[in-house]
Amino acid sequence: MKRAWEQKRAVAESFGRIKHTVGVYSGKGGVGKTTVSVNLAVTLAQQGYKVGILDVDIDCPNVVQAMKLHEYPVVNDDKKMLPPQRFGVHVMSMGFFQKNEEEAIIWRGPMVHNAINQLLQTTEWGELDYLVIDLPPGTSDSPLTVMQTLTLDGFVVVTTPQELAKIDAMRSINMIKTMHVKVLGVVENFSGSVFGTGAGEELAKDMGLDFLGRIELRGDYQDTSKPTVLTSEDVLAEYESIVDRVKTALEKTPAAAGTETD
């Protein structure tokens, strides 16, 4: 119990100067959760906010690659890691600690739990307006650890138009609600003539949630040199609309102010 309390206190200290902490989550992999996380974070940074992104997808950390980061965290005098910055966003990810990005991380639950706790405890974020957390998909150990360890302001749930993705997103929403955390709303990704449209809006209506917006499947995403909001005005407009709705949802939610220490 003492160790758990100390861990919780260390996390609270690391997150104590962050105004808003938003998780981006999905019930399954492959729905574009990391792409949404990165473009949301960069859009906020482009609007002049102090922003960080925390990649806690231990199995498949992709934020470093998506942000085209070549710098690594440095350790300060307090033995805390200082996240490097790219496109105005501070970044921390398990991807920094892989010798080979093609290496498979094959860990059981306790190792995943410890790795996530280390990232949460030893990162010095400083003052941020927004921290976007790219969570692992599913409803098992990894997202559960984050939900139990952090007090988040809310979640953005990402789905695609397919029926199975909608069902999995519903499962992730039910998990969030079970953990008594607010769902800020639903985003539909890969929308358009290829996969269809409307599942995200239907899901939001069925679950009594806000629909934050629809992101079209576009050829613009073939340019991976930087986050697509920096290369496409159409994509930027979509994310600016989503960001506005996220801000509105956060205004209705009391600030979490890090992790509780009681």
Of the candidate ranges 116-120, 212-216, 219-223, the one whose mean pLDDT is the lowest? 116-120
- Phi and psi based region of residue 223 (left: phi greater than 0; alpha: psi -120 to 50; beta: remaining): beta
Identify the residue whose tokens are 């692992």. Answer: 136
Q: Domain extents for the chain?
A: 19-251
The predicted model scores a pTM of 0.90
Residue 153 near residue 21, CB atoms below 8 Å: yes
In this structure, whether the domain defined by 19-251 belongs to CATH 2.160.10.10 is answered with no
Burial class of residue 251 in the structure, from the number of CB atoms within 10 Å of its CB (0-12 exposed, 13-18 middle, 19+ buried): exposed
Confidence band, pLDDT 50/70/90 cuts, at residue 2: low
Q: What is the pLDDT of residue 259?
A: 41
255 pLDDT higher than 70: no
Helix axes 141-149, 163-178, angle to 10 degrees: 40
Reported as a single tens digit per residue, the pLDDT across 38-82 is 999 999 999 999 999 999 987 789 999 999 999 999 999 988 999
pLDDT above 70 coverage of the chain, percent:
90
CA proximity to 94, closest of 115, 113, 65? 115
